[in-house]
Amino acid sequence: AKQRGKAGHVRYEPGMAEPVLAHFQLGAELRRALDAGEFRVFYQPVVGLADRRLIGVEALVRWQHPTRGMVAPAEFIPAAERTGLIVELGRTVLRETCRQMAAWIAEFGPDAPVKVGPNVSGRQLHDPGFVADVRAALADHGLSSDRLVLEVTESSALRGRQVIAALHELDAMGVTLALDDFGTGESSLSLLRAFPASIVKLDKSFVDGIEIDDGDPAAGDARQAVARAVVQLARALRLDAVAEGIENEAQARALRELGYSLGQGFHLAPPMPAEKMTRLLAAARSA
């Protein structure tokens, strides 16, 4: 039986095949899926923790598989990275995100909270055509560059002069850069010096259990210490801090008390298809 998660996707099961064979099959299937246009972009709101106001949106890819249903990125992004197909997949997501943003701005006006952040893999950043792809995607839809947030994971091969140069070029263009999964990498602090980020996203692993205050420094209290350090660092560096993976009200409250004003998570709003996001934007307009 399929396991349907909260985010509305099922686990990809390669069936009876040998692992190596499954790997090749997955690569071939990804190629086919790209050509068939089976990838969908879901959108998850980023909201103000005090007033629940919509601030922006994260773009998350899903694979609408003809027989397996909605497949989560964890089941195919690693294979896409290994095969290099992530560059084309990432470009597809970027273009679709920009197309959707332009449609929302046309419908809800320039003041609507339409600021969307797709995730970018390290492999994409190493692609010499990446900055040009971003520029073209924005220009093709008449979008101002400050509409686009690129979420880059700390660990995702952010080293190298070429990657850092690309990030600075994007920053100079006016694109917002967010450092994703913050706190999980090896050298978050030194990275922040070289990386022109304006947003840090506190990793969900520090949010899980943050509401549990039992005096045990090994559990909730340690996470609180990290969460507090990250928000203080963000404030000192004039970055926005977003807490990820908030699953209940107690976590939202704990994070607010620690100084977070922005959050994301199933408790606030799950990732959703574009049509549902459109209804949310319509509700935000009339609110």
Residue ranges that bind Ca ion, judged by CB under 5 A: 119, 151, 180-181, 214, 216, 219-221, 244
Contact call for residue 72 and ligand C2E (CB under 6 A): yes
Could you tell me which residues are beta bridge partners of residue 240?
A: 199
Contact call for residue 118 and ligand C2E (CB under 6 A): yes
Cα radius of gyration (the chain): 19
Q: Shortest Cβ contact with Ca ion: which residue?
A: 220
Tokens 């969900």: give the residue.
204
C-beta of 45 vs 68, nearer to Ca ion: 45
Question: Which one of ligand C2E, Ca ion, none interacts with residue 46, CB within 5 to 8 A by kind?
Answer: none
d(CA 231, CA 243): 9
Contact call for residue 273 and ligand C2E (CB under 6 A): no
- Collect all residues with Cβ–Cβ distance below 8 Å to 208 and sequence separation of at least 6: 223, 245, 247
- Collect all residues with Cβ–Cβ distance below 8 Å to 130 and sequence separation of at least 6: 120, 124, 166
d(CA 194, CA 281): 35
Contact call for residue 87 and ligand C2E (CB under 6 A): no
- Extended strands (E) in 38-163: 39-48, 54-65, 69-71, 116-120, 149-153
Contact call for residue 97 and ligand C2E (CB under 6 A): no
Contact call for residue 121 and ligand C2E (CB under 6 A): yes
Pattern 30-69, ligand C2E, x by CB under 6 A:
--------------x---------------xx--------
Q: Which residues bind ligand C2E (CB under 6 A)?
A: 7, 44, 60-61, 72-74, 77, 86, 90, 93, 118-119, 121, 151, 180-181, 245-247, 264-266, 271
